[in-house]
Amino acid sequence: MHDVQGEVIVTASAGISWYPTDGNQGTDLVQKAETAMGRAKESGIQRVEFFTSDMQASSLESLRLHKDLLDALEQEQFTLFFQPQIDLATDGIAGAEALVRWHHPDGKIVGPQDFIPILEDMGRIQELGEFVLNQGCDALQRINEAGLDLPRMAINLAAPQLEDPDLGSKLAKTMQASGIPPEQLELEVTESLLISRFELVQNQMSELLGMGISVALDDFGTGYSSLQYLTRYPFSKLKIDKSFVWNMAKGDKDYEVVKAIISLGHSLQIKVLAEGVEDKRHEQTLRTLGCELVQGYLYSPPIDFKAFVEYLRKYSHPGQED
């Protein structure tokens, strides 16, 4: 006989439905008890929940949303909006960030916070990511062909994309098809991505950088902010999260954080971009602190391709680089 070591902790959650209030049939009652159990598990361990009609409504809603999202992937109902990034030294356009939107068949434009986490849970975020990369490169190709000047397009990467060993070859293929130079492409990654699979990500990053694609660190300061990443990976840019920018009134701790990030970036020769710049005061403070790049509603919210092309026609001056 083997020695059995360790301890196994078993917990239970329960869902309860009532006869006849919740139904007359056994199958119906069990199904509703299961819905209540699902809610009990969501709210923590060792909980008991009684079925209520709003639970059914929300579980039906979530089922519908899952189905709608599968249709959206299949029918390519996603689209990209673009938000300009401004160089404070010249006031010119240094680049743009591509931000995904869901063009829902009922006419609504749905923001990424309402569907990206669900696609992640469904294990389908990679498909959206590839669509976004292709669309982003396609948009860039059209901008180049129109003779407009956009030094760089930034595209957000989801975790499974950075873990995909074929990312480099997929990008090479996309760029070859669209004929855009790799220097025009920047990928935005977040810190949480970097800690999850350190070695794999390190190899992946080397491949991208070797191809001439730059990588920006997004939402810096909101996660682990490990300084090790900054020395190990040659990031092209550090992006300061909008929450710091909004609370930057002088004297506030967030002001000190912004100041420290900018000075850290400068010491490591990494450009710093502050996002969420909504008013002139934000801009002035960032200018004083020596921040090079800004992005926010003060300049433009994310806009659709047509509006973005208009924006470039109006404000871009060929020959200006970041």
CA distance 145 to 87: 23
Per partner kind, with CB cut-offs from 5 to 8 A, the member of Ca ion, ligand C2E, none near residue 213 is none
Distances (CA, A) of 137 to 80, 102, 152, 256: 11, 18, 11, 37
Of the pair 37, 193, the CB lying nearest ligand C2E is at 193
Of the pair 15, 221, the CB lying nearest Ca ion is at 221
Of the pair 55, 245, the CB lying nearest Ca ion is at 245
Q: Do 302 and 99 touch, CB atoms closer than 8 A?
A: yes
In whole angstroms, how close is the CB of 197 to ligand C2E at the nearest point?
A: 16
In whole angstroms, how close is the CB of 79 to ligand C2E at the nearest point?
A: 10
Count, in order, helices (H) and strands (E) of the chain. 13, 11
Packing angle, helices 198-211 and 167-178, rounded to 10: 20
By the criterion CB under 6 A, which residues form the site for ligand C2E?
83, 99-100, 111-113, 116, 129, 132, 156, 158, 218-219, 242, 275-278, 295-297, 302
In whole angstroms, how close is the CB of 247 to ligand C2E at the nearest point?
A: 13
Of the pair 112, 182, the CB lying nearest Ca ion is at 112
Please state, as a whole number, how many other Cβ atoms lie within 10 Å of the Cβ of residue 14.
14
Per partner kind, with CB cut-offs from 5 to 8 A, the member of Ca ion, ligand C2E, none near residue 158 is ligand C2E
Of the pair 30, 109, the CB lying nearest ligand C2E is at 109
For residue 216, the cross-strand partners are 188, 237
Of the pair 28, 91, the CB lying nearest ligand C2E is at 91
Of the pair 43, 301, the CB lying nearest ligand C2E is at 301
In whole angstroms, how close is the CB of 304 to ligand C2E at the nearest point?
A: 12
In whole angstroms, how close is the CB of 290 to ligand C2E at the nearest point?
A: 20
Task: Return the residue matching tokens 């900054």.
Answer: 230
16 burial level (CB within 10 Å; 0-12, 13-18, 19+): middle
In whole angstroms, how close is the CB of 297 to ligand C2E at the nearest point?
A: 4
Q: Which residues contact 294 (CB under 8 A, 6 or more apart)?
A: 85, 86, 88, 273, 274, 275, 277, 283, 286
By the criterion CB under 5 A, which residues form the site for Ca ion?
156, 188, 218-219
Per partner kind, with CB cut-offs from 5 to 8 A, the member of Ca ion, ligand C2E, none near residue 132 is ligand C2E
Per partner kind, with CB cut-offs from 5 to 8 A, the member of ligand C2E, Ca ion, none near residue 99 is ligand C2E
H-only helix segments in 50-94: 53-74
Per partner kind, with CB cut-offs from 5 to 8 A, the member of Ca ion, ligand C2E, none near residue 322 is none
- Residue 76 tokens read as 């390519």
Per partner kind, with CB cut-offs from 5 to 8 A, the member of Ca ion, ligand C2E, none near residue 231 is none
Residue nearest ligand C2E, CB atom distance: 296
CA distance 284 to 274: 12
The string of DSSP codes covering 215-252 is: EEEEEETSS---HHHHHHS--SEEEE-HHHHHT--TTS
In whole angstroms, how close is the CB of 136 to ligand C2E at the nearest point?
A: 8
